[in-house]
């Protein structure tokens, strides 16, 4: 399994379309992690491919996703009817980049398009060697939250790597002496609270938020009674 480096890694953003906000309660956490990963991609110089599912019917990517933050590193957004992101257009992108061995994969839905994209990368029909998908646990979700741990178990069995947005960042940076480490460290600090909350919701499955009001105090009986 090749060690992920900026030179051999590409980022895949899968189907984070606004229409799914109503069916995936954790959608805002997904957008947070996606934007964090896009900032990481821009920092280290990794290209980004994004996809939509049947955009004519389901609409575009959510406008809160900051694809402009990666500038020319964003190769494009490709619409699809297949559930896998690895369409003919995306195959051509990968074939034109033989140095790419690893794919950082995040988006929705975990048990459909994320799963099938990862399986397509693990068993490519267009090259002899598989890619290694790095599936971001705090960057994927399904409308049925219970689907996610089952999908992650299967992906591990198939050969994908399940990791987190922070862990893949440190792995791609690789060394605290790396010139980009200071900027990366600042990114980690700036996103610390949101990363913690996304992990609690998307990985641990809690619904607690920092904005929850404390329970009211118990009523105190009057001494006159």
**For 26-53, what is each residue's pLDDT tens digit?**
999 999 999 999 999 999 999 999 999 9
Calpha distance 195→215 (Å, rounded): 26
Correct CATH for 6-203 of 3.40.50.850, 3.40.50.300, 3.40.640.10, 1.10.3210.10:
3.40.50.850
CB 105 within 8 A of CB 114: yes
CB 114 within 8 A of CB 120: no
Which of 141, 79, 75, 76 lies closest to 112, judged by CA?
Answer: 141
**pLDDT computed for residue 215 by the predictor:** 47
- The tokens for 47 are 């290209």
For the chain, the domains span 6-203
Calpha distance 91→40 (Å, rounded): 24
> Which residues have a catalytic role annotated?
15, 80, 113
Cα dihedral 149, 120, 47, 88 sign: negative
Calpha distance 82→212 (Å, rounded): 40
Residue 225: asked if its preceding bond is cis (omega within 30°), the reply is no
Would you say residue 214 has pLDDT above 60?
Answer: no
- Pure H helices in the chain: 27-44, 55-58, 88-95, 115-122, 147-158, 165-173, 181-190, 192-198
- Per the listing, tokens 């690789």 go with 174
**pLDDT computed for residue 89 by the predictor:** 97
**For 128-184, what is each residue's pLDDT tens digit?**
899 999 999 999 999 999 999 999 999 999 999 999 999 999 999 999 999 999 999
Say what the pTM is. Answer: 0.90
**pLDDT computed for residue 206 by the predictor:** 82
């Amino acid at each position: 399994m090749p060690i992920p480096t900026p030179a051999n890694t590409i980022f895949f953003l899968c189907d984070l379309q606004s229409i799914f906000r109503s069916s995936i309660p954790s959608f805002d956490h997904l957008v947070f992690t996606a934007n964090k990963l896009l900032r990481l991609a821009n920092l280290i110089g990794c290209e980004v491919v994004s996809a939509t599912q049947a955009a004519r019917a389901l609409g575009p990517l959510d406008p809160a996703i900051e694809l402009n933050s990666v500038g020319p590193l964003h190769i494009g957004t490709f619409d699809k009817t297949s559930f896998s992101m690895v369409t003919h257009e995306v195959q051509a992108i990968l074939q034109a980049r033989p140095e790419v061995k690893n794919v950082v994969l995040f988006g929705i839905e975990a048990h459909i398009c994320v799963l099938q994209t990862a399986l397509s990368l693990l068993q490519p029909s267009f090259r002899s060697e598989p890619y290694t998908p790095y599936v971001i646990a705090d960057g994927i979700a399904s409308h049925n939250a219970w689907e996610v741990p089952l999908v992650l178990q299967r992906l591990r069995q198939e050969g994908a790597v399940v990791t987190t947005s922070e862990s893949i960042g440190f792995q791609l940076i690789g060394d605290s002496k790396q010139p980009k480490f200071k900027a990366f460290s600042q990114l980690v600090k700036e996103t610390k609270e949101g990363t913690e909350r996304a992990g609690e919701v998307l990985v641990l499955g809690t619904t607690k938020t920092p904005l929850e009001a404390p329970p009211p105090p118990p009523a105190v009986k009057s001494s006159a009674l």
